[in-house]
Amino acid sequence: MNEESVVRVKSVGKSCGAPRALDDVTCDFQPGQITALGGANGAGKSTLIKIICGYYPDYEGSVFVGGGAVRYQNPSDAYRSGIQTVHQSINQGVVQNMTVAENLALNYMLSTECDLIVKREEILERARRIAEPMGLGHLDLNMKVERLSQSDRQLIIIARAIASEPKLLILDEPTSSISERETEILFEKLMMLRARGVAILYVSHRLHEIKRIADRVFVIRDGRVSATLEKPFDVKQIVTAMVGAVKEREARAAKSAGEPILEIRGLVAKEGKKPLDLTVRRGEVLGITGLIGAGKSELAEVLFGIRAPLAGTFSVDGVERRFRNIREAIDAGVHLVPEDRANNAIVNSFSIRDNITFPFLRIFSALGVMKRRKERQKATELVDSIGVKCAGESAPIDSLSGGNQQKVVVARWLVRPSKVLILDEPFQGVDIKSRHDIGEYIRKSAKDGAVIVMATDLDEIIEVADRIVVFNDSKIAGEQSLDALDRDQLLHWAAQSPDEIA
């Protein structure tokens, strides 16, 4: 263990119920190095981060910062010693009823440097200096953060963290909600910080990112360090250390899809966009990809009754529909796993079971009396089938890692068979093995209906889809079937100017 480490963790253990979250973990973070932290969902990564940044003061073992032993009582202690953390949950890093400028300048506003009477122009100027290097100059600094997209919120948190000039910068799934262009800007900033001697702890389930930017990788498995990999390393080594041998995905032929189950004609979901025509067939898994802002989520909201279409029609199983609310969509057999898990999917005060079953409580009741045993059995069946790592179906949802929470959200919409199951970015924060498990479950659920998977990550789409449609500026730029895939062409369609689309 290098005595010049910015942070050293020695023999750290932590119990958050059974099994133990961490057990005898030892690792260090060096100045001028990007260290990746790998591991499956629930392996203990977030617990380790929370110990380092002062969220958990009660743990076994020792943490050293700058060579001296510390035991932070809260995150403020860690921040004052130069440890800056961007957590996986985006809404933990922003104050939604404050403006963009106030969120960017939040560290200053909470410091002793700031006068008791906050000067608006000074806040705006500080915010501009933080925003522009991260490509956020387009944002209205006076807009409330609650009105921003997930990607803009994420970039605000990252920009503020980088501007604080940390000694150790911890990034937990920083690219899960941002575009490829925004990811490139982030990586440029990380390279600059590394050159200046900043230690960086980087957590991502996108293993190609780890391979690209990390100098070394600590892999945690079941709460213990299972491997330390120094550059050069490959993705297969990381996967093996994370989950053991993963069964190779069998080559799939595109399904012979049946009759149309979803027909979209002349649909306009957003002002100023061209009409959309699209047909999805029974038994098909359709992948829709495109850059952030390409129009995928707006289409999902129309189909699920969240947003009224401006023009056009759509039919489900031969019946023309125009849902006035979510309940009408669910009753018609249209289910949606939304992109924004924290705001639109998870109920933090509920158990895992309640989060799974609450849209379908009528299934588990008779004459107004809940059949709790039937409800528990269904929740347990889905928890086991989709591989949620938890103490049981009655455990609190907020006791789970982000990836396991995502599995619960997917499981919810499998309680009852659907005609059209829409999954908007279903693999955010999900490890590679869990992604395989969810993919298998998705394909099974398409047997009697259809599944639409929306994701910006092309690898995720290719893994599950029979046919891939590329959205660009709310238009279909092109499509390919599984047996005629051309990755470069798909990327070209996603990135080209909207004016080039026929």
* Cβ 273 vs Cβ 241: under 8 Å: no
- Class of domain 7-243 as given by CATH: alpha beta
Closest Cα partner for 130 from 95, 162, 99?
Answer: 162
Joined tokens for residue 309:
């279409």
Domain coordinates in residue numbering, the chain: 7-243, 260-500
Q: How far apart are CA 301 and CA 305, in angstroms?
A: 6
**What integer pLDDT is reported at residue 446 of this predicted model?**
74
pTM: 0.69
Pairing of the two strands 467-472 and 475-481: antiparallel
Joined tokens for residue 293:
């802002």
**What integer pLDDT is reported at residue 492 of this predicted model?**
85
Phi then psi for 241, rounded to 5 degrees?
-70, -30
Architecture of domain 260-500: 3-Layer(aba) Sandwich (3.40)
Q: How far apart are CA 171 and CA 200, in angstroms?
A: 8
**What integer pLDDT is reported at residue 17 of this predicted model?**
61
**What integer pLDDT is reported at residue 1 of this predicted model?**
46
**What integer pLDDT is reported at residue 253 of this predicted model?**
54
Q: Do the first three CATH levels of 7-243 and 260-500 match, i.e. the same topology?
A: yes
For the chain, give the mean pLDDT: 88
Pairing of the two strands 224-230 and 216-221: antiparallel
Residues of the chain whose pLDDT is less than 70? 1-3, 17-19, 245-257, 502
**What integer pLDDT is reported at residue 249 of this predicted model?**
47
